[in-house]
Structure 1
């Protein structure tokens, strides 16, 4: 009977797993937004979706910004030149950085769920170039306005 219950539970959860998406983010040396970007700079996903960070150009990693992890979320740090996949369940605004280029402004935002990021989501502790990049991202994202 326990085995049947486990099987039924698993079958109920399969449709949820099938609905989750994988999103790709490139770590670049330069693009039309300037040096050291993530592309895209702003990503909207649903809880349970996965983000795959591609080491498109060498010398980068993807890591969560400690002050920008939603409640219930877990920090992550990829190795330099490592392509990693991170599944995000905690709803809110996630700040992501490239550790070696953080002070140069290599950052991005991931919105998990329906609440868009605002300037109020940016902590005062951000390096100046990182803060400016995030403000630019907020201003330029398609749903702004």
Structure 2
């Protein structure tokens, strides 16, 4: 009888520990807010912020603060699902994999409307370095601004 009671107490303790762990890990996840702007602190056609250092489990919500924008991933870590929103749509991305996510506003890529989300370590930096030159060739205005964003990747 005493053995059953000890087993029940142990089971309850383990269940409580597991529930606490789950609650704590989701409580520390952050929802980043990124504004899609026709004009911001760094000039025309920007995301603010344009660089985020996030963690696995965080989310990023893109807000069409000014009309005429949407967001699409250009490069993601291997297991991260690529994304693309609709025009003028609030859109949330769940960050499931460590690495660098390069994203842009499709109508305004040529104007340098680009951003980066680094999740944990930049495990796919080599892929980014190989991809970026051809991507950069599509940017007619403000390519230096995009270079500066990418220089933050560590």
Using the size of structure 2 for normalisation, the TM-score is 0.75
Deviation at 1:130, TM superposition (A): 7.6
Aligned to 1:31: 40
| Aligned match of 1:96 | 103
What is the aligned length?
137
How many Å separate the matches in 2 of 1:134 and 1:123? 10
C-alpha separation between the residues in 2 aligned to 1:121 and 1:88?
22
Matched, 1:128 2:139: yes
Q: CA deviation at 1:125?
A: 2.1
Distance 2:58 2:130 in 1: 21
In the TM superposition, 1:75-90 aligns within 5 A as 75-90=82-97
- Select the residue among 62, 67, 82 that pairs with 1:58: 67
**Deviation for aligned residue 1:138:** 3.5
2:132 alignment partner, SS class: coil
Distance 2:30 2:60 in 1: 8
Q: In the alignment, is residue 137 of structure 1 matched against residue 149 of structure 2?
A: yes
Of 104-113 and 10-19, the range deviating more from structure 2: 10-19
Instruction: Report the aligned-residue RMSD.
Output: 3.0
Structure number with greater Rg is 2
Runs ≥4 in structure 1, deviation > 6 angstroms?
A: 116-119
Unaligned runs of 5+ in 1: none
Maintained 8 Å contact 1:36/1:101 = yes
More helix by share: 2
Aligned to 1:110: 117
Contiguous gaps of at least 5 residues in structure 2: 1-10
